[in-house]
Amino acid sequence: MFFIRPCVKIGIYHFQNSRSIRNLVESADQQISNGSIVTTTSAAKKFKNSIVYVDIGARGGSQEVTKDFNELLHFVVFDADPESNSKLQNDFKNSKVTVVNNAISDSDSKRTLFLTESRACSSLLEPKGHSLSLRGGNARDLARFKVEREISIDTQTLSESIPIEIKFIDILKIDIQGLEYEAISGLGLFRPFLICVECSTVELYLGQKSVFEVGAQLEKLGYMPLKFMEIQLVPKTLAKYQSCIPVHGDVVFVPNNSAQGREIIERDVEKWFASLCMHGYMDFALWQIDELKISKPPLVTETEELLRKS
C-alpha cells in the first residue's frame, strides 16, 4: 500500500486537472449554446410571458438558470410558509408572476408545517428521518433542521391549485423537502417539458420517498433522468463520508423516447426546445429531435443557423 499511494495521488491529481479542463470546455460550450442564443431568434419573441414555469418551494426567488429567459416566462410560485409568500413578488418583480398561497401535497387536507431554524429546511414532514445525520458533518449543520415552530396549513394537489387560466405547465421545479413524490402524484393531466426535483437517496424526513421511487413514478408518465445530482469524489479520509455519498440534490427529468414521451414533446416542440435550452441541454434536445424524426419548427432552425454563424 505504501508504494501504491503515490500513484493513486498522481492519478487523482491528473483526474482533477482533466476535470478542470473539461469544466472549462463545457463552460465555453455553454457560452455558445446557452439560452441567450435561443432568445435572440425571431421565433422566441412570440413566447413573451407565455412559457409557464411553476416553482413549488420558491422561497429563494427566481433561479439563476432562468435569467436569460425571464421575459419569456410566466412564473406560478408556491411556498408552504405563509411568511415567505409576501416576499415573492419582489423576487420576481421583472417577470410576470402568479403567487399561490396554499401548500402542495397529494390531497386536500390540513397538515402541520414544521418550521425549522433554517427556514429552507422546513417541511410538511418532520425532519427526523433515519439518515438525517448524512446531511451535515457536525452539530451546527444539523441544527438547521431543529423545529422552532409548528403551524397548521391547508394543502391541495398541484392540479387543483393551478389558476384556471393556466392550461399547461411547461417547466416544473419542486423543492419541498421530502414531499416531491406527493407533489408529482397531484400532477393530474399536466405533463411539463422539464421537471427539476430536489430529491434524496435516503430518508431525511419521516415518511419521505426516495429519488428511486420518484424516478419510477415519473418513468410511468414518460420521463427519464437527464441529470442526477452532482458528481461526488471520495475525500481524503473516509471519516468524512458525508462529502462522498450522493444524499441530496437536484434531478432533472425530461420526456423520454417512448410514445408517451414523444406526445409530451409534440404538445409544443418550440416550448419544449426552449425549456431544455434554458437548462443547458440544447445538444440533447437536438439529438432527440433527430432521433424521433420530429419536424424542426422555426425556433430550432433559427437557433441552428445562429450556431453555425457563431
Instruction: Please write the tens of the pLDDT for every residue from 261-309.
Output: 999 999 999 999 999 999 999 999 999 999 999 999 999 999 999 999 8
Can you tell me the distance from the alpha carbon of 109 to that of 198, in angstroms, rounded to the nearest whole number? 23
Burial environment of residue 46 by CB neighbours within 10 A (0 to 12, 13 to 18, 19 or more) = exposed
Tens-digit pLDDT profile for residues 206-228: 999 999 999 999 999 999 999 98
| C-alpha closest to that of 68 among 90, 101, 95, 89 | 95
User: What is the arithmetic mean of pLDDT over 46-55?
Assistant: 91
Measured from the Cβ of residue 99, the count of other Cβ atoms closer than 10 Å reads 18
The pLDDT of residue 231? 60
The rounded mean pLDDT for the chain is: 84
Instruction: State mean pLDDT over 46-73.
Output: 84
Q: Cβ-count burial of 102 within 10 angstroms (0-12 exposed, 13-18 middle, 19+ buried)?
A: middle
Q: For residue 283, what pLDDT is reported? A: 94
Encode pLDDT of 1-26 as tens digits: 444 444 544 454 444 444 454 444 44
- Residue 57 has a pLDDT of 87
pTM attached to this predicted model: 0.84
> Are 195 and 174 in contact, with CB atoms under 8 Å apart?
yes
Q: Look at residue 190 in the predicted model and tell me its pLDDT.
A: 97
Query: pLDDT tens-digit profile of 74-124?
Result: 989 887 776 666 676 666 655 578 888 778 999 999 999 999 999 889 999
Contacts of residues 15-18 at CB distance under 8 Å and 24 or more positions apart, as own/partner, are: none
Q: DSSP assignment of 218-287, as one string?
A: HHTTTEEEEEES------SSGGGGGGTS--EEEEEEEE-SSHHHHHHHTT-HHHHHHHHHHTT-HHHHHH
Contact 56, 158 (CB under 8 A): yes
How open is the CA angle 29-35-39, to the nearest 5 degrees? 135
Q: Which CA distances in Å does 114 have to 57, 86, 161? A: 14, 19, 21
Q: Are 145 and 126 in contact (CB under 8 A)?
A: no
